[in-house]
Amino acid sequence: KAGVTQTPRYLIKTRGQQVTLSCSPISGHRSVSWYQQTPGQGLQFLFEYFSETQRNKGNFPGRFSGRQFSNSRSEMNVSTLELGDSALYLCASSFQRGATDTQYFGPGTRLTVL
């Protein structure tokens, strides 16, 4: 079974631009969560989508948004990029959205904001 895939793997943008990242979950998985990883803050939860609806949101500004499609694929968008948005963005999928469901991570998208 193929794992979680994320595209693109690397991205360079400038301040003020916007960016869209894509995530394809493991086949059959319906829940997709997004995390931001930085050296200073570690791994922080952004949001979770299940059945095309955002079910949970972390403590990030409204510039961070996402959506999920009927095939469970998900995208996240960051508008008006800031230097501090440079990070590894990780997507994780799970079969359901229970608190004990195992989350499997993709390789991440490395975003650099100049």
Which residues of the chain form contacts with other proteins (CB under 8 A)? Answer: 4, 31, 33, 35, 42-45, 48, 50, 55-56, 58, 90, 92, 94, 96-108
Q: Quick one: tokens of 58?
A: 């972390």
Q: Which is nearer to other proteins, 67 or 97 (CB)?
A: 97
Closest distance to other proteins from the beta carbon of 94 (Å): 7
Closest distance to other proteins from the beta carbon of 15 (Å): 25
Closest distance to other proteins from the beta carbon of 16 (Å): 28
